[in-house]
């Protein structure tokens, strides 16, 4: 009973609640992947990965990162207004992206033109996932971790059903992307229930208030949006480089390694980041020690990262072919090479929201720019010296890993500096 009460009241209760639901949701995804790799070709997998990569460039910034402020704002009324503006912004950004695609279709001779109408699934993916994450943050503010977990399971189940059914019917890339696009709509009404109740009891937001929120948070937008976009681009750049420098087949294998290595981030890191952001923001406003929180999270994340990624690096080549089918041992080799980078990214991604709490978004932008510059430099080094795929991925792993280590250290210095001095800021 004491242990149960401790877990319930500790800062890790949110992580545990979110983690259980996320584990179940991702188990569904893990189960269907071996089926999908036997239903679609590596080339089709490459096109699907391109679509998702292009959507994921925009999804994290679709609300101009205003949805993050929903969690940390000190006033509930302001949080509701931020939710309003975030939703409007996602629709506006989606519309602009659609116009961009229409222009690209008329211009021709580009990747969007090559895949044709499939490109227009990208705005749909941006819209549904953009709105989804707004309400995840809204639920996170009010610590409705169980609701977030249940809806994640429902959404992953729907996506899996659509993708597997499409695979059996020969739906190819369209079926895979369509499942990714429509599944976020499931459960949205439930997650938005509290927001809608509050919306009915207050005045509708005006254009003046919308502009006021943009102006008030312009520093947040100007620093964090470019940083997030650069971060997303740094990983889309790898996919584009693999296709450009090698072939679509290698890109297909890389997409599998990216999916496997990304699972710990989805299962643990994303959930930890939500709780860390909420806990850090709360303690910072109340003048409590943020250093203790940083150390607590670092210890747990460090142990999980070292043990988990070390084991994964050892078993990946053999297990990958067993799980995904003949030929996918190659994806396992990519996993082994990239484990160093992902072990550090796992920790950094969990903590990086701290820059928002301390209003240090500029630092985030600097580090993300380093990632992109590293990716571009490695691309050209590979091209000039005719490096093979293993050498290319090795350089990516080392350089990106060092940048993530610098982020972890920098956040530690900031937490140490502000610990116990919040009221003087």
89 or 6: which carries more pLDDT confidence?
89
The DSSP line for 155-187 is: HHHHHHHHHHHHHHHT-HHHHHHHHHHHGGGTT
pLDDT one-digit tens code per residue, 214-266:
999 988 888 778 878 887 887 788 988 887 788 778 888 998 998 889 877 76
Residue 422 has pLDDT above 70, yes or no: no
For residues 51 and 121, the answer to whether their CB atoms sit within 8 Å is: yes
For residues 346 and 269, the answer to whether their CB atoms sit within 8 Å is: yes
Q: Could you tell me how far CA 214 lies from the centroid of its own chain?
A: 23
Give 424's DSSP letter: G
What CA–CA distance (Å, rounded) separates 170 from 231?
34
Please tell me which of 3-12, 172-181, 283-292 the model is most confident about, judged by mean pLDDT.
172-181
pLDDT one-digit tens code per residue, 371-403:
999 999 999 999 999 999 999 999 999 999 999
* Residue carrying structure tokens 């297990």: 319
Instruction: Kindly state the average pLDDT of the residues 275-304.
Output: 78
Residue 17: the pLDDT is 63
What CA–CA distance (Å, rounded) separates 319 from 257?
12
Residue 239: the pLDDT is 82
Residue 267: the pLDDT is 65
pLDDT one-digit tens code per residue, 56-83:
999 999 999 998 888 878 788 888 999 9
Two structure tokens written together for 35? 């089926």
Instruction: Kindly state the average pLDDT of the residues 35-47.
Output: 84
Q: Could you tell me how far CA 13 lies from the centroid of its own chain?
A: 22
Residue 3: the pLDDT is 42
What CA–CA distance (Å, rounded) separates 97 from 91?
10
Residue 180: the pLDDT is 93
What CA–CA distance (Å, rounded) separates 133 from 229?
16
Average pLDDT, the chain: 85
The DSSP line for 378-418 is: HHHHHHHHT--HHHHHHHHHHHHHHHHHHHHHHHHHHHHHH
Residue 246: which H helix or E strand, with range? none
Instruction: Kindly state the average pLDDT of the residues 186-196.
Output: 87
- Of the candidates 307, 372, 313, 366, which has an alpha carbon nearest to the alpha carbon of residue 339? 313
Residue 198 has pLDDT above 80, yes or no: yes
Residue 404: the pLDDT is 95
Residue 424 has pLDDT above 50, yes or no: no
Residue 423: the pLDDT is 45
Confidence (pTM): 0.74
Residue 212: the pLDDT is 92
* Residue carrying structure tokens 């997030």: 228
pLDDT one-digit tens code per residue, 164-180:
999 888 888 899 999 99
């Amino acid at each position: 009973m004491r242990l149960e009460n401790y877990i319930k009241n500790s800062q890790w209760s949110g992580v545990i609640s979110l983690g259980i639901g996320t584990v179940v949701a991702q188990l569904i995804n893990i189960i269907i992947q071996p089926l999908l790799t036997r239903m679609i070709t590596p080339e089709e997998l490459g096109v699907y990965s391109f679509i998702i990569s292009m959507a994921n460039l925009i999804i994290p910034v679709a609300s101009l990162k205003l949805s993050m402020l929903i969690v940390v704002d000190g006033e509930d009324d302001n949080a509701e207004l931020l939710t309003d503006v975030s939703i409007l912004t996602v629709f506006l950004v989606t519309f602009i992206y659609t116009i961009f695609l229409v222009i690209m279709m008329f211009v021709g001779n580009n990747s969007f033109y090559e895949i044709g109408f499939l490109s227009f699934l990208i705005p749909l993916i941006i819209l549904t996932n953009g709105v989804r994450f707004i309400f995840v943050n809204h639920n996170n503010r009010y610590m409705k971790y169980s609701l977030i977990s249940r809806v994640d399971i429902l959404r992953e189940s729907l996506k899996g059903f659509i993708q597997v059914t499409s695979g059996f019917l020969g739906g190819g890339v369209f079926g895979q992307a369509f499942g990714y696009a429509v599944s976020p709509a499931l459960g949205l009404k439930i997650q938005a229930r509290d927001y809608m109740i509050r919306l009915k009891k207050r005045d509708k937001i005006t254009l003046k208030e919308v502009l006021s929120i943009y102006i008030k948070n312009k520093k947040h937008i100007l620093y964090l949006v470019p940083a997030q976009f650069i971060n997303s681009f740094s990983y889309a750049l790898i996919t584009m480089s693999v296709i450009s420098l090698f072939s679509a087949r290698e890109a297909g294998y890389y997409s599998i390694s990216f999916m496997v290595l990304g699972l710990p981030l989805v299962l643990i890191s994303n959930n930890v980041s939500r709780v860390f952001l909420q806990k850090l923001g709360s303690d910072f406003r109340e003048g409590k020690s943020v250093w203790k929180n940083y150390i607590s999270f670092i210890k747990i994340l460090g142990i999980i990262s070292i043990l988990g990624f070390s084991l994964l690096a050892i078993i990946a080549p053999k297990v990958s072919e067993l799980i995904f089918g003949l030929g996918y041992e190659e994806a396992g080799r990519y996993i082994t090479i990239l484990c160093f980078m992902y072990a550090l990214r796992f920790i950094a991604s969990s903590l990086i929201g701290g820059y928002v709490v301390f209003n240090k978004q500029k630092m985030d932008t600097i580090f993300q720019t380093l990632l992109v510059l590293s990716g571009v430099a490695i691309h050209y080094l590979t091209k000039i010296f005719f490096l093979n795929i293993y050498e290319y991925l090795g350089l990516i792993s080392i350089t990106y890993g060092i940048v993530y280590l610098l982020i972890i250290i920098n956040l530690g210095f900031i937490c140490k500096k502000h610990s116990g001095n919040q009221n003087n800021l």
